[in-house]
Structure 1
Amino acid sequence: MATWLVTGGAGFIGGNFVLDAVARGVRVVNLDALTYAGNLDTLSSLAGNPGHVFVEGNIGDRDLVARLLAEHSPDAVVNFAAESHVDRSIDGPAAFIETNVVGTLGLLETVRDYWKGLEGAARDGFRFLHVSTDEVYGTLGETGKFTETTPYAPNSPYSASKAASDHLVRAFHHTYGLPVLTTNCSNNYGPYHFPEKLIPLVIAKALAGEPLPVYGDGKQVRDWLFVADHCEAIRTVLVKGRVGETYNVGGNSEKQNIEVVHAICALLDQRRPREDGQPRSSQITFVADRPGHDRRYAIDASKLKDELGWEPKYTFEQGIATTVDWYLDNQDWVQRVLDGSYRLERIGVTA
């Protein structure tokens, strides 16, 4: 049985990854600091499962990480741990530097020392996979896509901190030989997404009858990647990727933000119509744009397809319908986030 140390495994993408990995027979040691975006409710189905060991802690805690590596001897470390909300990085960038840069450095140094002590097949097979974002590349015009060789040009404190962490990962490979892999993904969506991000926020506000805030003219373009496809891509890179390489992960689903909001409204009109019969789109409200808002992102994931055989399985239409249905069926999970009770209680998944 493979053992993976997953950091940030109580967050949105990390939580989905952990649930799927354990279901596939991987033993997961899950290290998460349980900041506001870490939600143990997401992992409730793993309570009592011997294939999941949850540890509350920070990736920058070198003694803790060293202990977990020595105790569990993982075959890989998959690093999801990050502060990731652009608006929050504008309001308070220091936390992003502390976690995404300083924390990643501490994790890399501790993992490097562990890897250097391995021998034979354990050393040869070990991998450190760093999960990053397409936002490190900056913004695009109306044409073109980001490739793995696109120069970095981050435009927010969040993307700047992730760019720094990517460079550290690359440096640890070239300087120390640490067997690293990096993935840079487009905008994820799907189950367990924290309701401050666009799609779950719109669903929650639409159901509550509140205005649906859309930045600027709503014509910012993103490539939308269903989270299950992203998790599959990460597993593919972890197993088959070339050491030292970067792989872009995209959903082949470029949409303007306003298109996404209208798609959600249409699905809710079908599944949960308003009592007054008015369309949910009547709740759309345009608000002042985010400072420094990137206009367009688009991913060229052809390297991942050509080298490793991965491509997304979900169209946007399939993924957004699945996502809306999940939120309608899991209102208790959403409500516990909205009222804060998810942070006040601990459920039985802690080791």
Structure 2
Amino acid sequence: MNIKSVLTLILIGTILAGCASDSSSISNSNETPEVEAAVEQRLEEAVVTDEDESVNEEERKEEQEDQKEVVQPQITEEPKENAKEEQKDEAKDTSKEQQAEQKVEQKTKPKSDQRSASLPNAKKAWWFKRNSDHLPPGAQSEIDLTKYDAYYLGNTNEKRVYLTFDEGYENGYTSKILDILKEHNVQAAFFVTKPYIKSQPDLIKRMVNEGHIVGNHSVTHPSLPDKTDEEVEYEILETARYFEEITGTSMPLYFRPPAGEYSERTLQITKDLGYKTIFWSMAYKDWDVNNQPGKQAAYEHIVQNHHPGAIILLHAVSSSNTEALGDMLKYLKDQGYIFASLDEL
């Protein structure tokens, strides 16, 4: 039963009760229309009230629905979508970080399982024996260098030389050396330590951009036979990692042992890491910055000791080398030599 029916019954009952209590003053023929009119008026008011309440209820429902439509997209749905996008972005960032960490881990992971732990670790110091006949010099023969991808000579059947510089620290001459090499259209190899890379990033980038090989000369310049397997690996891999961080390119896989000290064990470790070890067949005492031999002595060293396949070691801290470099390059070219790349080894 709806509200209208209930109100109708109540009104009729009230009116009839009033009529019964005052029957003496009411005439059946005259008062019946008045009763009907009163009932109709009360019924109309009841209907209007009922309709108003129904309208108000519908309006409230519509308002609630409107609020849901407005509120839900702003608070419930959109944040869900945003959360999904944020989760995707976070997942991407996390993935990139994990990939970077994995990349570093792969580069620094010890490779002890790839070599024999029984290899001799007797320390050797690189040496060679000069001759005055411009022939490839003799060198240590206790260890077969070819077993370990180690070189001190290049192609000895042709007049090719391989120019290399060691860089432990900057003494103010490397920029000039690069200028001279560029002027004579000669590519060289620079063996650098991590501290050198860190202190001279612009020179490192210039070496790369001008086509020179930038080789690995360790982090701390230690005597490698004194280090554990893991420490030797760190010396090499950390230098390579930092080089890539600075330049955005991988470091060429050439390694020069600090002070020329090595053992079969360290040569094997270097090989297992994918590197070629580069010794030398021409060098002289040019590293002492407080006792430089002078321009002429540096030039005479080249004139007296050149030979086919020579791997020439010069130190970039030397003022004598820097002063004589242009004349050295011109002389060797005049003798028919080609400046070759370590990539040809």
Q: TM-score range by the shorter chain?
A: under 0.3
Question: Greater strand percent: which structure?
Answer: 1
After TM superposition, the score normalised by the length of structure 1 is: 0.25
The structure with the largest alpha-carbon Rg is 2
Q: Which has the higher contact order (CA 8 A, sep 6+)?
A: 2
